[in-house]
Copies of this chain bind each other. A is one copy, B any other.
Amino acid sequence: MTDYRRLRVALLGAGAVGSQVAALLRRHADELADRAGARLELVGIAVRDIDAPREADLPRELLTTDAESLIVGSDIVIELMGGIEPARTYLLQAINSGADIVTANKALLATHGPEIFDAADQVGAEVYYEAAAAGAIPIIRPLRDSLAGDRVQRIMGIVNGTTNYILDRMDTEGAEFADVLADAQRLGYAEADPTADVEGYDAAQKAAILASLAFHTTVPLDAVHREGITGIDKAMMDAARHAGYVIKLLAVCERLSEASGSESISVRVYPALIDRAHPLASVHGANNAVFVQAEAAGNLMFYGAGAGGVQTASAVLGDVVSAARRHIAGGVGVGESTLADLPIVAIGRVITRYQITLEVDDQPGVLATVAGILSDGRVSIATLEQTVTGEDAETARLVIGTHKALEQDLSETVDRLAASGVVERVVSVLRVEGD
């Protein structure tokens, strides 16, 4: 066996991902040494409670509650605790003590990314975070390295497994949101408090990370427009299917170019209609996928498991090997590029297509009134379908597909429709993505 240099690896956190990382580091020690060019010696695992029950059988002598002592003298620090504090403090401490860091902490990077990256730049350390953006799917290196000579125009990502699982079952089984959510909670696909997933907070964090990288611009979390899927019901799913669409929770990161040549970006998370022939429409169950449109490369898609302890551990270990290679090879890291520093526009400036579903009085002249309000609001009609609703023959349902329109125009137009007297109810307004 080759006599490799030893690198001291500290692990913070021993939950679902952390315990798998610890297990794989030990099980594949020889193979990892060959690939990294260094033996990766797990010197300790910082936990809150040494006696807590754990998924994997970890050597008790490695467990410690003293994270700060563990960090000092480590070459690589893996942070899998989650949350903002104490993870932020520990990572800054690790950077300042000369370690490279590996983290899967999307909440931390989406809120304190610049602080972490700046600290690393100061000392020439590197921050690896492949597991923070789309679980096991390699997307950070493709965006940072493979597409470094290209210009990303748009990213559309299914980046939350829980919501994709729920929407996929609603679509394929015709089930209601609440029933599928309850089932997902029972099966472990959703947390007891599902807010972070179903309200789009998790997806918004990932969108901020992906957009920052793709557009070389710091994207603060509060610049990400966010809507969840709790308003999606069976009727909306059925209507989408009828029109040849499926509803997916999408993280959209888009470069907007003005006629003047000036550029800006939009970052948004919402449930949207997507054509059934689009590659993202075939992403089923709890899987994730990131669809990237680049100026030269054209359309690319990256697909895989978005979560799961052992899957995410794969991404973490890939980062650990990269960090080890860099330690051995020397040189300074790539660092985070925010040089483009593009302005981030509000949701009102976004241009996309829409599908508006209305319940209207079934009387002569109603259609003319609705069409007039749309036209006055600079919203152009592409398709229109009118059906009489089952319960009440005096009410008709209008499904209007629009051409591309400005979100602000659309939103004001919908308000005017609601107040027009001929519209009984605005059933739904959904964006159509993926043209």
Tell me the A residues contacting B by CB distance below 8 Å: 20, 24, 28, 31-32, 34-36, 130, 136-138, 141-142, 145-151, 216, 279, 282, 294-305, 308, 310-311, 313-322, 325-326, 329-334, 337, 339-340
Contact = CB atoms under 8 A, between A and B. Distances in A.
Which of A295, A308, A331, A333 gathers the greatest number of chain B CB atoms within 10 Å?
A331
Contacts of A150: 314, 317-318
B298 A301 contact: no
A290 to B, nearest CB: 11
Contact of A313 (B20, B282, B296, B304): B296
A376 B51 CA distance: 58
Contacts of A311: 296-298
24 contacts: A28-B151, A35-B149, A36-B148, A136-B297, A136-B298, A136-B300, A141-B146, A145-B321, A146-B315, A147-B318, A148-B322, A150-B314, A297-B304, A297-B311, A298-B305, A298-B310, A300-B302, A300-B303, A301-B302, A302-B302, A303-B303, A325-B334, A329-B332, A330-B330
A28 B149 contact: yes
B282 A317 contact: no
Given A297-B311, A317-B296, A138 B147 contact: yes
Contacts of A28: 149, 151
Which of A146, A325, A326 gathers the greatest number of chain B CB atoms within 10 Å?
A146
How many copies of this kind of chain does the complex include? 2
Cβ-closest 9 pairs across A and B: A149-B317, A331-B331, A138-B146, A297-B314, A148-B321, A296-B314, A300-B304, A329-B331, A138-B142
A78 to B, nearest CB: 11
Which of A145, A282, A308, A339 gathers the greatest number of chain B CB atoms within 10 Å?
A145
A301 B299 contact: no
A331 B100 CA distance: 16
Given A130-B146, A282-B282, A299 B304 contact: yes
A216 B34 contact: yes
A35 B142 contact: no
Given A300-B138, A301-B304, A304-B300, A317 B36 contact: no
Contacts of A310: 296, 298
Contacts of A142: 138, 141-142
Contact of A315 (B297, B339, B340): B297
A305 B315 contact: no
Given A149-B318, A279-B282, 18 more contacts: A31-B151, A34-B339, A35-B339, A36-B148, A136-B296, A136-B300, A138-B145, A145-B321, A147-B318, A294-B314, A296-B311, A296-B314, A300-B304, A301-B302, A301-B304, A329-B331, A329-B332, A330-B332
A302 B303 CA distance: 6
A320 to B, nearest CB: 6
Nearest to A330: B331
A340 B30 CA distance: 11
A298 B308 contact: yes
A60 to B, nearest CB: 24
A194 to B, nearest CB: 23
A40 B31 CA distance: 37
Contacts of A138: 138, 141-142, 145-147, 300
